[in-house]
Amino acid sequence: MFKMLNLKTDMKKIWREDVIAIIFLAPIVIMVLFRLIISFLLPYLATLLDFNIAEYEKYILSLVLFISPSMLGMVMGFMLIHDKDNKIVELMSVTPMGKQGYLIIRLSFVFLFTFIYTLYGYLVIGLYLIPIGTLLYITVLLSIYSTIFSLLLFRVATDKVKGLTYAKGLNVLMIFAFARLFDTPWITILSAFFPSYWITEIIIKPNDFLILSLGLVVHVVWFGICLLSVRFKKS
């Protein structure tokens, strides 16, 4: 009951602010636009530039799938900053739930919607077939990624104005998803320490148990570090 009430409260807060509401709904529209680009524009460009789209479709899919966790992570980051400004975070820290419990409940919101949005995006794009089990696994990892994005934004930004600037900077993390395109060993090794790298690796090798395991470990470690960092940050 409490979680459902919390979900309704979060939705009301989103609709109350136009900018946050637009960001929250944007992935739904962007996915459709990407589908149109992939279906009509890219084939046309391929004939002009003489390149094979199929060689890059896995990277294109990875890019598209990162849209939802990045934008929804931004939404929750702004909501956390709003709670901090209104002393809600400070208030929750002295309750039995504690600051960490409050954050986990908050982050469950962005996890849930990222999960839904990611599946929606994959179905809309229809670019590359992934085994259903692997797709669900990737969706869970991207949902964790959205919570990481939220926590990082909450950690570094002191207000919503700075939050918007920092959110643009945090999107640079997505570049590690395309490390193999640079074909440089040290870049690949460096990228392996970042969650985004493993999403593309799993898309490329969906049945590799080692890659699946390492992807989960990296995501969980990042989430744990971010959660502890925010947990012990003074509000």
Question: Domain ranges in the chain?
Answer: 2-231
Burial class from Cβ neighbours inside 10 Å (0-12, 13-18, 19+) for residue 134 reads middle
Question: Which pLDDT does position 5 carry in this prediction?
Answer: 47
In terms of Cα–Cα distance, which of 65, 233, 95 is closest to 151?
233
Q: What pTM was estimated for this model as a whole?
A: 0.89
Say whether pLDDT at 156 is over 70: yes
Residues 26-82 have pLDDT tens digits of 999 999 998 888 888 877 777 777 767 777 888 989 999 999 999 999 999 988 888
> 134 is written with which tokens?
């692997």
Look up tokens 């504690």; give the residue. 98
Helices (H), the chain: 2-16, 18-36, 42-49, 57-65, 67-85, 88-92, 98-125, 132-156, 160-170, 179-182, 185-191, 195-204, 209-231
Amino acid identity of residue 206, one-letter, is: P
For residue 217, give the DSSP letter.
H
* pLDDT at position 90: 67
Residue whose entry in the numeric block shows the structure tokens 């908050």: 106
pLDDT tens by residue, 118-130 = 999 999 988 778 8
pLDDT of residue 1: 41
Structure tokens at 101: 């419990």
pLDDT more than 90, % of the chain: 46
Residue 3 has pLDDT above 60, yes or no: no
3-state DSSP call for residue 139? helix
